[in-house]
Amino acid sequence: MHDDGNMRLVSSRVCVLVVLVCTGLGGCSTLGYYGQAVVGHWHIMRARTAIPEVLVDPETPPETRTALQRVQTARVFASRELYLPDNDSYTTYVDLGREAVTWNVIATQPLSVEPQSWCFPVAGCLSYRGYFHREDAEKYAAHLRAEGLDVALTQADAYSSLGWFDDPLLSTMLSRGEPLVAGVLFHELAHQQLYVKDDSSFNESFATFVERHGIEQWLKKQNRADLQGRYNRYQVRRQDFLALLTGFRAELDNLYAEDISDEAKLVAKQAAFVSLRQRYEVLKKQWQGYAGYDAWFDKPLNNARVAGVSTYNRWVGAFATLFADSGENYALFYQRSADLAALPRAERQRRLEELSP
């Protein structure tokens, strides 16, 4: 099980159809950005190979063949047991030959943990901006840093076209190992099941809940005590990490709301991040020295890195409550989630806060 602490921002959902909208509008000032999204997606789509063909190819590495066979089982499980879309997504495979499919840029103001949004005609407003080439992402991140923003650059191992295309399974998704690769599959299919414009926290929290609950159900079907044990330990550590970051974000919110000068807030902010590292070291001792989240803490810490984690987990507890209130009936849960999505944003957030544990 691969647990490297890179709280993945899986879904760089810059829908490639948006370039057609821009063209129809007579051009966009950011057409170059949309262009890289179109070209990047096009290269992936044309490189697809049906998974059965990959399985019989003698050049396919044994570990890849085994992983793809398990993915096929998880894909069937997703539709039959989790009632996720039954289509041709994730029935093909692409070996990207690189460590990530996209690189995502997240930015916040120096005294805020609310991520900046970028809005697109089709996908709506997102709390990150994704690039298919790392150099492009680093260039844009440097531009935002020069403007004085807190910036984080994260890797994504998957993304979704939200059902517009039959998305392939990517080699980057397989790098997570069992059962997290099944979780990536469930997460991305959940975005096809439900997606609301302009609310990244809602979308990612919904998909993250479906992913985690789906993994739990999938593991029960596997009847493998060793795998279940490893995943249980992973879950404990992940929840500890998320609790640490959730509490820290609340502390930053309180700090930035204090009636003191910005200079004093910036000094206190630096001290707070030093304290966060110290608390992580205490947490590692509780894990008997497990260092799987060192990679997250080894990078420069700022508001944007904290915001990136919270986007994926802010409302997971609320969706867990909604699922329980739905009698753990997936069809009813999806309908009630869609009802939430249809509410005005302020009312939707109020309802999610009520549902949160």
22-63 pLDDT, tens digit each: 333 334 447 788 889 889 999 999 999 999 999 999 999 999
pLDDT digits (tens, 9 = 90+) for 165-184: 999 999 999 988 788 999 99
Predicted pLDDT at 177: 77
Establish if 157 belongs to a structural domain. yes
Q: What percent of the chain has pLDDT over 90?
A: 76
Q: Burial letters for 262-289: b for 16+ Cβ neighbours within 10 Å, e otherwise? A: eeebeeebeeebeebeeebeebbeeeee
pLDDT digits (tens, 9 = 90+) for 17-28: 444 433 333 344
Judge whether residue 15 has pLDDT over 70: no
Establish if 292 belongs to a structural domain. no
Q: How many domains in the chain?
A: 1
Predicted pLDDT at 20: 40
Establish if 244 belongs to a structural domain. no
Task: Let me know: does 241 contact 282? Beta carbons within 8 Å.
Answer: no
Predicted pLDDT at 313: 85
Q: Which domain covers residue 38, as residue numbers? A: 18-231+314-355
Reduced 3-state DSSP string for the chain: CCCCCCCCCCCCCCCCCHHHHHHHCCCCCCHHHHHHHHHHHHHHHHCCEEHHHHHHCCCCCHHHHHHHHHHHHHHHHHHHCCCCCCCCCCCEEECCCCCCCEEEEEEECCCCCCCCCEEECCCEEECCEEECCHHHHHHHHHHHHHCCCEEEEEEECCCCCCCCCCCCEEHHHHCCCCCHHHHHHHHHHHHHHCCCCCCHHHHHHHHHHHHHHHHHHHHHHHCCHHHHHHHHHHHHHHHHHHHHHHHHHHHHHHHHCCCCCHHHHHHHHHHHHHHHHHHHHHHHHHCCCCCCCHHHHHCCCCHHHHHHHHHHHCCHHHHHHHHHHCCCCHHHHHHHHHHHHCCCHHHHHHHHHHHCC
pLDDT digits (tens, 9 = 90+) for 276-299: 999 999 999 999 989 999 999 999
Residue with structure tokens 């692409």? 94
pTM of structure: 0.84
Q: What is the mean pLDDT of residues 98-126?
A: 90
105, HSE (Cβ side, Cα atoms, 13 Å): 26
Predicted pLDDT at 122: 65
pLDDT digits (tens, 9 = 90+) for 239-249: 999 999 999 99
Establish if 81 belongs to a structural domain. yes
Q: What is the mean pLDDT of residues 305-312?
A: 86
Establish if 27 belongs to a structural domain. yes
Establish if 154 belongs to a structural domain. yes
Q: How confident is the model at residue 68 (pLDDT cuts 50, 70, 90)?
A: very high
Establish if 301 belongs to a structural domain. no
Q: How confident is the model at residue 11 (pLDDT cuts 50, 70, 90)?
A: very low
Establish if 290 belongs to a structural domain. no
pLDDT digits (tens, 9 = 90+) for 202-217: 999 999 999 999 999 9
